[in-house]
Chain A
Amino acid sequence: MAEKKQVTITIDGKDIKVSDDLTIMQAAESIGIRIPRLCYHPDLSIEGSCRVCIVAVEGSKFFISSCSTKVTEGMKIQTNSPEIRQARRDIVELILDNHPKECQTCERDGRCELQNLAYDLGVRERIYEGCRKEFPLEDSSVSVVRDAEKCILCGRCIRVCKEVQGIFNLNQHHRGFHTEVTPAYGAKMDDSVCIQCGQCINACPTAALQEKRHTDIVWAALNDPKKHVIVQTAPSIRAAIGEDFGFPPGTPCTGKMVTALRKLGFDAIFDTDFAADLTIIEEAHELKLRLQKKERLPLITSCSPGWVNFMERFYPELIPNASSCRSPMQMMSAMIKTYYAKQINKDPKDIFVVAVMPCVAKKFEMERPEHYLDGVKLTDAVLTTREVDWMIKSYGIDFVNLEDSEFDNPLGESTGAGVIFGTTGGVLEAALRTAIVELTGKKPEDIEIKDVRAVEGLRERELTVGDIKLNVAVSNGLVNAKTILDKVINKEKEFHVIEVMACPGGCIGGGGQPYPPKGYKILDPKLFAKRAEALYSIDKGKKLRMSHENPSIIKLYKEFLKEPGSDIAHKLLHTHYQQRFPKGIR
């Protein structure tokens, strides 16, 4: 690798010294000049396809893209002039020329990067009237809907799928005017190696990729007097929901969220955190058995449905290692349709369970045949954080000024361990809190196991629990999971427990979370840190911070489930996996 060298360049008349491995865009940013951009993302590879970030460089006959050009000694750069601004505007006008004129009826109206950019650059009319590409809407998928007519071929979805998630499901196919981003062979999303994580939706600047909408069926259920409609909210929702209503990132909004859902007309509001606690009880039991028998180690968590899909397509040989526990969402739904249904004397068929999730893959998970119980679907609808935010706005609820309220019982009580499920390392930390007590019989001195909070995406640690040494690993973003899983497959290292979350940052960075607010970017570690902080602050504020201390859980086992790993627990709380085709290439 070449040595980094300092070069002197001139940007807009100002001489600066910068490292020669910077691009013009980065050099400009270092002195507070933000060049407009569209296809660029700092954490993804450089595409240079949109040309919006053009600048003038002395000696060059044409404008050059600043995201893909490195600085060189003596470079004289101009980032702004009437001509440059006009050229950028022309470029965006030409992109718009090939884009549907549906802004007012589009899912991303007001939150669209292309729309915002066009406004910023001063596009005030549609000048060009050319041919527009025509592609059918691909909405056959249970999770991810693809609208190629809204695609501007920036390639961000392709790059996030390949570079962050390690899937490489999407690619540009055909050429020129006929170019379309699709899975291999133009296949439908559900027939491809797509793991339904929804990161492509987050990365898309327009509405070319969207989650499958469930709001319609939820409105219908809420208006059906025969249906008892119950909602559950995942741990990470409370940490992000406020952003869409103008709260600064990291503002915990649990109380307002519950009130808003009650106003929407849900008959009961339960906390998926409760089921997260339940997951810990079952998973800790599973781990204990496997450690005793020294079999099927490492135990790999199975809460993240994107990861489960990834495992079934890319690492089928690890299926026996995955925890057989259903995800907290599905455990909660199972408890609602059995335990709770009995309590309120309702036929499970008349109960409609809505899950508010940070996740798009949950929409796939709820459709799995393994997640039916005696012919009844466990979860009836999955709303992403974005969808529920829209429902709250659409209903006319003044979220900002809502009073706080509490979850309903008996499935609304949770511990601090349950709430941290929403961020990377949380499941492992929660499991360890309980495992330490189980294995040593003592409460740990410091309940917080900060060492497993893998904010950087990947962490391997050796922990001592009593007289047992545990090799643990935590990963988020599936490219990071590959590193660990390959070590397992190649028998390079013996792990005992591995937590895998499909999305960067864990659920707080899920494919269904709000688009980043102003000042933050997609995949922004700063945004994830704020959301995680919200969860940790809730955890800190809880009296009970270990899952097995949850009184409602203790009661549940006493009244209904008997003991962890019992026959009934197995039927209701556990599942199985299978290899899926086409097989992914890792």
Chain B
Amino acid sequence: MNKEQKTDEYIEKCKKELPEHILKFIEECNQKEHPDSHLISVLHKVQDEYNYLSKEKMEAVAQLMQIPAARVSGVATFYHYFRTKPVGKLIISVCLGTACHVKGADLVAKKLEEELGIGFGETTTDGLFTLEPARCLGMCAMAPIIKIGEDIHSHVTPDQIPAILETYFEKYNHHEKKK
């Protein structure tokens, strides 16, 4: 039995976990002087692609960059930006910074929790929304702010929430029908 072949199989399996452009990026990083110093950039790319870092993806990064897996997952769990649990298609960030708080962000947050039936850090059962707190999105003049996907909603009041969410439900369902 050829053991080397078996080892290669494992690397091949890891390669299948990631898309071509990330594999290429890892390849480039590995050519550089300190490949490990590019770990965070690689994790960013993986998260951009999948919205979160699954165990399988992190293992693939570890194997392909030859960085011990404990370091990869240590980094991934240390930084708040990285997620290790799956998230919905759209992330709703509710700004809870000082200005938004003064302008009633807590009421907006409460309404969102009610309407979606989930708490912070959770994802709706249909997989569309994940609710997350944010500490100042830097748009204090337009407080309170919520960010849904890449869209910013300003001067939000609790009673606007159902209508705002509805637009996304429609958009999402529309997409589904098209498929």
A binds B: yes
A328-342 interface (Cβ within 8 A of B)? none
Query: Which residues of A lie under 8 Å from residue B6 when comparing CB positions?
Result: 316, 579
CB–CB B3/A171 < 8 A: no
Residue A173 at the chain B interface, CB threshold 8 Å:
yes
Residue on B nearest A173 in the bound complex, by CB: B77
Question: Contacting chain A: which of B61-69, B126-134, B144-152?
Answer: B61-69
Query: Which residues of B lie under 8 Å from residue A184 when comparing CB positions?
Result: 58-59, 62, 68-70, 72-74
Q: How many angstroms from the CA of A185 to the CA of B68 in the assembled complex?
A: 12
Question: Contact mask A412-423 → B, CB, 8 Å, 1/0?
Answer: 000000000000
Q: How many angstroms from the CA of A120 to the CA of B72 in the assembled complex?
A: 39
Q: How many angstroms from the CA of A64 to the CA of B3 in the assembled complex?
A: 52
CB–CB A171/B59 < 8 A: no
Interface size class of B (residues with CB under 8 A): 20 to 34
CB–CB A174/B77 < 8 A: yes
Contact of A173 among B55, B59, B62, B74 (CB under 8 A): B74
CB proximity of B69 to chain A, nearest CB, Å = 4
Query: Which residues of B lie under 8 Å from residue A67 when comparing CB positions?
Result: none
CB–CB B73/A170 < 8 A: no
Query: Which residues of A lie under 8 Å from residue B10 when comparing CB positions?
Result: 581, 583
CB proximity of B57 to chain A, nearest CB, Å = 11
Q: How many angstroms from the CA of A193 to the CA of B69 in the assembled complex?
A: 9
Question: Contact mask A562-586 → B, CB, 8 Å, 1/0?
Answer: 0000000000000000010111110
Query: Which residues of B lie under 8 Å from residue A320 when comparing CB positions?
Result: 3
CB–CB B77/A168 < 8 A: no
Residue B4 at the chain A interface, CB threshold 8 Å:
yes
CB–CB B63/A583 < 8 A: yes
Question: Contact mask A297-322 → B, CB, 8 Å, 1/0?
Answer: 00000000000000000001101100
Contact of A317 among B4, B62, B78 (CB under 8 A): B4
Interface size class of A (residues with CB under 8 A): 20 to 34
Query: Which residues of A lie under 8 Å from residue B74 when comparing CB positions?
Result: 171-173, 184
Question: Contact mask B76-107 → A, CB, 8 Å, 1/0?
Answer: 01100000100000000000000000000000
Query: Which residues of B lie under 8 Å from residue A579 when comparing CB positions?
Result: 3, 6-7
CB–CB A582/B78 < 8 A: no
Query: Which residues of A lie under 8 Å from residue B55 when comparing CB positions?
Result: 185
CB–CB B78/A185 < 8 A: no
Residue B71 at the chain A interface, CB threshold 8 Å:
yes
Q: How many angstroms from the CA of A328 to the CA of B95 in the assembled complex?
A: 64
Residue on B nearest A176 in the bound complex, by CB: B78
CB–CB A185/B69 < 8 A: yes
Q: How many angstroms from the CA of A317 to the CA of B8 in the assembled complex?
A: 11
CB–CB B3/A174 < 8 A: no
Query: Which residues of B lie under 8 Å from residue A173 when comparing CB positions?
Result: 73-74, 77-78
Q: How many angstroms from the CA of A169 to the CA of B62 in the assembled complex?
A: 12
CB–CB B3/A317 < 8 A: yes
Contact of B3 among A168, A316, A584 (CB under 8 A): A316
CB proximity of A585 to chain B, nearest CB, Å = 5
Q: How many angstroms from the CA of A583 to the CA of B66 in the assembled complex?
A: 11
Query: Which residues of B lie under 8 Å from residue A293 when comparing CB positions?
Result: none
Question: Contact mask B3-21 → A, CB, 8 Å, 1/0?
Answer: 1101100100000000000
Q: How many angstroms from the CA of A193 to the CA of B55 in the assembled complex?
A: 14
Residue A516 at the chain B interface, CB threshold 8 Å:
no
CB proximity of A15 to chain B, nearest CB, Å = 42
Query: Which residues of B lie under 8 Å from residue A316 when comparing CB positions?
Result: 3, 6-7
Question: Contact mask A178-206 → B, CB, 8 Å, 1/0?
Answer: 00000111100000110000000000000
CB proximity of B39 to chain A, nearest CB, Å = 13
CB proximity of B35 to chain A, nearest CB, Å = 12
Residue A61 at the chain B interface, CB threshold 8 Å:
no
A29-77 interface (Cβ within 8 A of B)? none
Residue A518 at the chain B interface, CB threshold 8 Å:
no
CB–CB A585/B3 < 8 A: no
Residue A175 at the chain B interface, CB threshold 8 Å:
yes
CB proximity of B101 to chain A, nearest CB, Å = 22
CB–CB A319/B78 < 8 A: no
CB proximity of A432 to chain B, nearest CB, Å = 28
CB proximity of A575 to chain B, nearest CB, Å = 16
Residue on A nearest B14 in the bound complex, by CB: A583
Q: How many angstroms from the CA of A243 to the CA of B78 in the assembled complex?
A: 41
CB proximity of B86 to chain A, nearest CB, Å = 14
CB proximity of A126 to chain B, nearest CB, Å = 30
**Contact A185 B58, CB 8 Å, known A582-B69, A585-B68:** yes
Contact of B69 among A172, A175, A585 (CB under 8 A): A585
Query: Which residues of A lie under 8 Å from residue B58 when comparing CB positions?
Result: 184-185
CB–CB B77/A317 < 8 A: no
Residue on B nearest A317 in the bound complex, by CB: B3
Q: How many angstroms from the CA of A175 to the CA of B79 in the assembled complex?
A: 8
Going nearest first, the 4 A-B pairs with the smallest beta carbon separation are A184-B69, A168-B68, A171-B70, A171-B74
Which residues of chain B have a CB within 8 Å of any CB of chain A? Answer: 3-4, 6-7, 10, 55, 58-59, 62-63, 66-74, 77-78, 84
Which residues of chain A have a CB within 8 Å of any CB of chain B? Answer: 162, 168-175, 183-186, 192-193, 316-317, 319-320, 579, 581-585
Given contacts A184-B58, A320-B3, A579-B7, 8 further A-B contacts (CB under 8 A): A162-B68, A171-B70, A173-B73, A174-B78, A579-B3, A579-B6, A584-B68, A585-B68
Pairs across A and B, CB under 8 Å, 15 listed: A171-B70, A172-B74, A173-B74, A173-B77, A174-B78, A184-B58, A184-B59, A184-B68, A184-B73, A185-B55, A185-B69, A186-B73, A193-B68, A581-B10, A584-B68
